[in-house]
Amino acid sequence: MDGKPLAALDYAQLIAAVAKHRDRGAFSALFDHFAPRIKAYLMRAGAGEALADELAQEALLAVWRKADTFDGARATAATWIFTIARNLRTDRFRKEWRHVPVGDDLPDTIDQAMAPDESLSDAERGERVRDALRLLPPEQVKVIELSFFEDQPHAEIARTLGIPLGTVKSRIRIAMTKLRDLVGDLS
C-alpha cells in the first residue's frame, strides 16, 4: 500500500481477498496496519513487549487461517482482529495460571517485596468492588458484568441487550468512572 490509511471497508475487503485467494499482498497490508496496533494494545493491557509482539503475530496468523470465518455483518475488520488478539491474550494468561505450582512444588521463600500491611488483601479489594457495584444503576452493572466478568466483546453485549454499541461503550465508560470514584486506590 502507499501509506494512506484504509477505510474499514477496505480492511474487510483485504480479509475477503485473503479468504478467497490467499492474497499475500492483502495479508501484508493487514499485517503492516494491525501488527503495531495490536502490540500497543496488548502492552497497554499489561503484556510485556516480547509477549505482546508474539501475540500480535499469533493474532495475525489466526487472521490468515480464519479469514473465511470473518463476517462483516457481525463486526468490523478491526473489531474482529482485536477480538482474536484479546482472546489469545486471555488464553495465554489462563494457561500460565494453570501452571502455578501446588503442594511440594511451592518455593521455599516468599517474596517480601510488599508486606501484608502495605496493601489491601484480595478479599478486601473484592468487597470494595462489590459494594461499589451495588451503588451503580442496574443497566451499568449489567454491561460491566458482561464486559469484564464474562469477557464479552462490546458488539456482543449490544446484541445481547438489544442496545446500540455506542450505548454499551458509554455505559461502560460512565460505570468505570463511578467505580474509580467509589473504590479509590486499590493498591
Q: Domain with 73 in it: what CATH number? A: 1.10.1740.10
Same domain assignment for residues 85 and 30: yes
Are 88 and 141 in a shared domain?
no
Which grid coordinates belong to 115? 508486606
Domain containing 57 equals: 8-98
159 and 78 share one domain: no
CA distances to 20, 77, 99 from 110, in Å: 54, 45, 18
Amino acid at residue number 41: Y
d(C-alpha 65, C-alpha 10), whole Å: 19
**In the chain, what are the helix, strand and coil shares in percent, each to the nearest 5?**
75, 0, 25
pLDDT of residue 6: 61
What pLDDT sits at residue 65?
A: 95
pLDDT at residue number 112: 42
Query: Does residue 89 share a domain with residue 18?
Result: yes
Residues counted in the chain: 187
Tally the domains of the chain: 2
Determine, yes or no, domain membership for 115: no
Q: What is the DSSP letter of 108?
A: S
pLDDT score of 2: 47
Q: Which of 68, 98, 128 is the last residue of a domain?
A: 98
pTM: 0.51
Kindly state whether residues 94 and 159 are assigned to the same domain: no
Amino acid at site 71: D
Q: What pLDDT is attached to residue 186?
A: 53
Cα 140 → chain centroid: 19
Distance, in Å, from the CA atom of 81 to the CA atom of 12, rounded to the nearest integer, reads: 11
Could you tell me if 15 and 85 lie in one domain? yes
Domain C-terminal end among 63, 98, 133: 98
Give a yes or no: residue 109 inside a domain: no
Task: Identify the domain boundary among 43, 66, 98.
Answer: 98
Which residue ranges in the chain fall short of pLDDT 70?
1-9, 96-126, 185-187
Residues 6+ apart with CB under 8 A from 126: none
At 96 the pLDDT is 66
Do 88 and 127 lie in a common domain?
no
| 103, burial (CB in 10 Å: exposed 0-12, middle 13-18, buried 19+) | exposed
Clarify whether residues 133 and 70 are in a common domain. no
Residue 86 lies in a domain: yes
Q: Are residues 20 and 86 in the same domain?
A: yes
Task: Say if 75 falls within a structural domain.
Answer: yes
Specify the pLDDT at position 185: 60
User: How far apart are alpha carbons 162 and 124 in whole angstroms?
Assistant: 35
Q: Do 91 and 37 fall within a single domain?
A: yes
